[in-house]
Structures are given as structure tokens and as C-alpha cells.
Copies of this chain bind each other. A is one copy, B any other.
Amino acid sequence: MFDVAELGRKIAKEDFKTQEPIMREALLDAQFRLREANFSVVVVIAGVEAAGRGETTNVLLEWMDARRVETHAIDAPTEEQREKPRFYRFWKRLPPTGKVGIFLGSWYTRPITRHAMGQMEESAFEKKLTQIKAFERMLAHENVVLVKLWLHISKKTQRKRIEKMAQDPERAWRLSDKDLAYSERYDDFRRVADRALRRTSTDVAPWKVIEGTDRRYRHMQAAQIILDAIEDRLGNPPAKEPPSSGLPEPQAINIIRALNLGQRLEPEQYREQLNAEQARLGWLSRRLVEQKRSAVLVFEGSDAAGKGGAIRRITRALDARYYQVMSVAAPTDEERARPYLWRFWRHLPRHGHVAIFDRSWYGRVLVERLEGFCSQLDWQRAYSEINDFEEQLTEAGVIVVKFWLTISADEQLRRFKDREQTGFKRHKITEEDWRNRDKFGAYEAAACDMIAQTSTEIARWHLIEAEQKHFARVKVLRTLCDRLEAQLGEAKVPQAGDKSAFEKKKGRKKDKKDKKKA
């Protein structure tokens, strides 16, 4: 891919002088019109060492209205970022609609560098590229225009530049040992980059290789490509997909209807088992802290299925400092200005923490699908986007546990009426809830599709028979504990009479003191 970028293309100083003001005006104009547009622009500036990425970025920022551009130099992840999935740093920095985000250092940097330096196997590298492709396709669907620039220079040019830089007191400070190591492996980088570019140059996110030798040519090309991308999208907005319509047919036999809703627990059984499971959960939640893991719990189910009650039985066993319950309400305007999953990424838990979602990203394939809040394309692609998301969570060591709570239509009706009559609960029932009841069957069918598509090996759906609340709560707790235990090791709930860790510590201290005395 790089031979075409070693042709010695140049722009003469005079020509550049003529072109520069025209380009600046065109860029400012495009940025101005972008302000009100419904998309954002993500520019990735990549390339080999010393190809002039920083220099060109500086020029672009000078030409554009810097106030409408967010520049991100992605260095090593911070402490907090290391506790989150790999893409967290990039998600966090996605620009809102109407703005341009320039990424100097991107999701390509680490995979390419590590593979080229022999620190990452080919299979792992290929997997990263596949994830990147999925990520970029999702961005493209979510109103992000992707511009990926690869600045290229030949081996000879690179060597010359680095030597010159090393001798220039103004710039030598920028050279690190790492840079030199990279440049010594020019051929490896070239080979790996070639493959990365081939694999990830897609219709929605094509790579543009720019010959980097001539400074003026490089700046002008980069600006032109960005300008074209913005203009193109402004001039050819994607056809608006019609909202999703047509409710899914309720099915007589499905995985939800196959559940035995007759299961119950007697009051005494309930108390006993609830206590036992809560003790287990309390113990496991401490392991989560010790082992620097985190958990994401998802609760879905029809209205009045008992999600809130089940969640409260969980939180009772947890320490308030280590959990957060999120309920999915209308997105804020900052959230609406970014891809759909952004608002969930921002609430991912830190190590030791449990994030509990009372309704979740599955809203897209449930209520949004049924109510036509998104297009058919949107909810259809959501399945694989969600699977990718959850895969990234589990890869980062997050334990994902998903619950679907099922009740019958009759039981729902009973609970609605009960809510209306109990002052305590009257806020929980609205006009909308009554309207939604008409779609009970369609909702169930959508849930079956969801389970079929997203109950994966890494994050399966646990179906909970919720007709009787006691039974449901204990089953949720027990399932959760089982899942945590599988990841964190067996729960050893301390028994009265056990020597506590604290006493053991005291014991050790005493031993030490005694030794000292002796």
C-alpha cells in the first residue's frame, strides 16, 4: 500500500502560498456548517515514526477553528483507564456531533507497535483488527465520519530525518529511545502496518495514505481529505432510515413461555435461603475488591416483573461504597450527541465495584424496537454491537451477569392494580405502563429474539421465573453468587468461632514483638 506514497510528490512554495488561504477558508466554512449538523468527525492521524504527524496536526489546528476541534494524544493509559476495557479511552473522548476530534495515537497504535516489536502474536493481532473493524463500523452507523490518515515516508527519508533531528537542539528532546528502537525496525513496521491497513480499510472507514516527505504536500493533502470527508457528508446525508415498524408476532411456544412459573418458596424457606445467599454475596463482593475485578449486572423484564425488588436484595448485601444502581432514563444532550453505547461506557465500574443496570443497552432491541424509536437497521445491528461490547467487558475482567425476569400477563395485571392502591408504590405506575400492557406478547417475542442473539458463552442470559417474588429474588441472588464464584473462587463464608483475619494479624504482630524481645 505504500509504494504509491514514495513518488516524491511535492508542492512548490509559491503554489502553497496561493493554496493555503483558500484551504483555510474552505475548512472554516465546512466547520461552520458542521456545527449544526448531526454528525461528528473523527480524524485518526497515524503513520511511521518521523513522518510528521505532530507537525501536520499543528498546521491543521492552525488552519481550522481550534475551538471546534478536540485533540487527543493518547499516551499510556492512566490508573483509572487501566481498570476499564481497552476501548474505554477512545469512547470517553469521542467528540459530540458538530465537532471534530483528532486522535494522535489511536486504537491502532498499540496493536501495530506491539506486533511489529514481536510482543504480540499474529492471532492476537488479527483479533484486534477484527475488533477495530467492528468498532469503526459501529461508529459509522452512529453518525461518526471517520477519516484515517496514514503518513508515510521511505526508510531512507526516515533515517535522514531522525539523524537530522538528533542534531537539532530544538527538536532532539523529542526523540526517545523507543523512537529509535521503532525506526530500527522500519521494515517490520511497514509490513505490519501494510496488513493492518489492508484489513481495516473498509467502505465506511477507508485509509488514506499520504506521502509524508514534502511538508507542504503532506499538510495540504491531509487538509483536503478532511475537507472532502466533511463536505461529502454535508452534501450527501445518508438516507434517513424509516423508524422500526410492525410488532413481532407473539409465539405460542418460546423459551420464555417454557419456564415453569409455578415455582415458589415458603416464607421460612425464603428467609433462610435469602440470608444464606446474601452472606455468600457479601463475601464474594470482598473478593471482587481483593482480586481487582468488577461486575456489571443487567436487569431486564416486563414492567412490574420485580427488577427493583431483586436489585434491593442484592444491594443489601453490598457495601454502599462499592455499588451503583443506574436506571436508564432519557439520554442527556451530551449523550444524544454521541454513539448509542456511549452513555453506558461512561458508567463502567472501577475495580472492586458493581454496576447494576435497571434496564440497559438492551432497550434498543426491546422498547426502542417496539415503539419505533430507532430504525429497523439500528436494532438489528445492535445485537452484534452489544455482543462486541460485552466481549470487551469480559476481556477486561469484568464479570457480566444478565437477568431476564418473567411474569405472566395475569400476574402483571394483579401487580399493576396493587400498585395503584398502595400509596407506597403509586409512583411506580403510569399511563404508559397501562399502554405497554397491550404489547405484552410483542415484548415477549422481542425478548426471545434478544435472548437468542445475545445469550453468549461469555455473557449468557439467566431467565428468572418471577411469578412469585420470593422465588425470583433467591434465584437471582443464587445465580449471581454462582457466577461470581466461578470467576473468583469458592465462597468461604466465615462462621462464628472462626479466627478472624484481624486476629490472625494481631497474632502475627505479637509473635514479632515476642521475637524482638527475645
Using a CB–CB cutoff of 8 Å, the interface residues on chain A facing chain B are: 21, 24-25, 28-29, 32, 54, 57-58, 60-62, 66-71, 73, 78-80, 102, 104, 165-170, 172-173, 175, 282, 286, 311-312, 315-316, 318-327, 332-334, 358, 423-424, 427, 494-496, 498-503, 506
Contact = CB atoms under 8 A, between A and B. Distances in A.
A324 B427 contact: no
Contacts of A166: 500, 502-503, 506
A326 B166 CA distance: 34
Contacts of A318: 58
Contacts of A169: 494-496, 498-501
Given A66-B312, A320-B71, A172 B503 contact: yes
Q: Give the number of times this chain occurs in the complex, counting copies.
A: 2
Given A67-B325, A321-B54, A321-B73, A173 B286 contact: yes
A15 to B, nearest CB: 19
Given A66-B312, A316-B62, A333-B334, A424 B24 contact: yes
Given A66-B325, A173-B286, 6 more contacts: A57-B320, A58-B318, A66-B315, A67-B358, A68-B327, A104-B321
Contacts of A503: 166-167, 172
A323 B72 CA distance: 9
Given A32-B427, A173-B286, A320 B104 contact: yes
A338 to B, nearest CB: 12
A359 B78 CA distance: 30
Given A315-B62, A315-B66, A423-B25, A501 B320 contact: no
A343 to B, nearest CB: 11
A312 B499 CA distance: 67
A496 B496 CA distance: 77
B71 A324 contact: yes
A292 to B, nearest CB: 14
A506 B170 CA distance: 16
A29 B315 contact: no
Nearest to A316: B62
A296 to B, nearest CB: 15
A28 B501 CA distance: 39
Contacts of A495: 169
A500 B332 contact: no
Contacts of A322: 73
Contacts of A282: 170
A73 to B, nearest CB: 3
B501 A173 contact: yes
For the complex of A and B, 7 pairs with smallest distance between CB atoms: A73-B321, A172-B502, A172-B500, A67-B327, A169-B494, A66-B325, A169-B500
